[in-house]
Amino acid sequence: MGLTTAARWRLLLVAVLAVLSIVGFMTWNVQSDWAFIIEYRGSRLLAMLLVAVAMGVSTLVFQTLTHSRILTPSLMGFDVLYVLVHALGLAFWARLGLGSMPAVVFVLDVLLMAGIALVLFRLLFGDSVRGLHLLILLGMLGGLLFRELTELALRVLDPTEFSIQSGRSIASFSRINLSLLWVALVLTLGCVTLVFTQRRRLDVLNLGRDVAINLGVSYRRTVTLLLVVASVLVSVSTALVGPMLFFGLLATNLAYWISGTHQHSWTLVTTVLVAVVCLVGGQLLVEQILQSRLPFVMLLELCGGVLFILLLLRGVRE
């Protein structure tokens, strides 16, 4: 296995671009004093790095488990499920007096989310071989359902809670939820370390269920663990910047192309680098260098969306 020479050069280029993006983001057009810049831009940068890592890694893991280059946790509604859990939980946590501790609420949300994911997978997997396909179909439906339920929940909550709610819970890129930065950092590092230790098993899982079991991978346990980890990573990303539908898809597919391999020790690293370039580099380019008023996340999602359609069309043709 390993990389071809061309792939090595491409990877090196992406790595250089990632570093340039980060440096550029911190230093471009600095007008006020450095202490402020480092704190202001630094926290924003950290949030974006965490989102890049969380979305990239969770999508990659998910695509390996589902043997698909098109499905992502976002398309299956993981991110809206998190928003729903958060919205429904908020009123409850507030009553327990935890309303003023966003980090604690966040951890509780993530635990709840992981728990729900775990129960759903256990129920759906059963002992059936077709479990995963069923899961995908239900996930697509679930995505829609969660979206509608979230809408409903937000309307049903009483007005004061709603205003707290909409002001605080649905983060976006222009309103990054910085209060959760440190918890998010710990969770992301934990999850990514875990995924990285499983990278060789992921390679085997890529060959399909039967081959993986033949080669001694405890299929059900490993898949459940990895799906739960993916759901935690999606929660982290959604809590920081809100739902993003196509970003993960963009990052993994670019990474498959750049690395030209399916070996996870390479694709994991490549996906993260690509995600950083897209997110941090894209932000720098559109908002700082080009001084454009266009919301850059929209552009990113547009690229991802176009890629999604292209992949679908190619899938249809094959």
Partner 1 sequence: MIEAKTLSKRYNERLVVQDVSLQIPRGGVTAIIGPNGAGKSTLLSMISRLTPMSAGSVEIDGMDVTRTPGPELAKRLSILRQHNQTSLRLSVRDLVAFGRFPHSGGRLTAEDQHHIDEALDYLSLNEFQDRHLDELSGGQRQRAYVAMVMCQDTDYVLLDEPLNNIDMRFAVDMMQLLRRAADEKGKTVVVVLHDINFASCYSDHIIAMRGGKLAWQGTPDEVMRDEILSELYEIPMQVHELNGQRICVYFRMG
- Using CB under 8 A as the criterion, which residues of the chain lie in contact with partner 1 when the complex forms? 1, 67, 127, 129, 200-201, 203-204, 206-211, 213-219, 260, 262
Of 190 and 315, the one with the shorter C-beta distance to partner 1 is: 315
- Whether 50 contacts 237, CB under 8 Å: yes
**Structure letter (DSSP) for residue 175:** B
Which amino acid makes up residue 19?
Answer: V
User: Which residues make beta-bridge pairs with 175?
Assistant: 172
Of 154 and 307, the one with the shorter C-beta distance to partner 1 is: 307
Q: Min. distance of Cβ 217 from partner 1 in angstroms?
A: 6
Q: Min. distance of Cβ 65 from partner 1 in angstroms?
A: 14
Q: Min. distance of Cβ 232 from partner 1 in angstroms?
A: 25
Of 217 and 232, the one with the shorter C-beta distance to partner 1 is: 217
Of 162 and 219, the one with the shorter C-beta distance to partner 1 is: 219
CA-CA distance, 34 to 298, in Å (whole number)? 30
Of 144 and 215, the one with the shorter C-beta distance to partner 1 is: 215
Report residue 183 CA to chain centroid gap. Answer: 16
Q: Min. distance of Cβ 225 from partner 1 in angstroms?
A: 14
CA-CA distance, 291 to 277, in Å (whole number)? 18
Report residue 49 CA to chain centroid gap. Answer: 11
If phi > 0 it is left, if psi is from -120 to 50 it is alpha, else beta; for residue 216 that is: left
CA-CA distance, 20 to 31, in Å (whole number)? 20
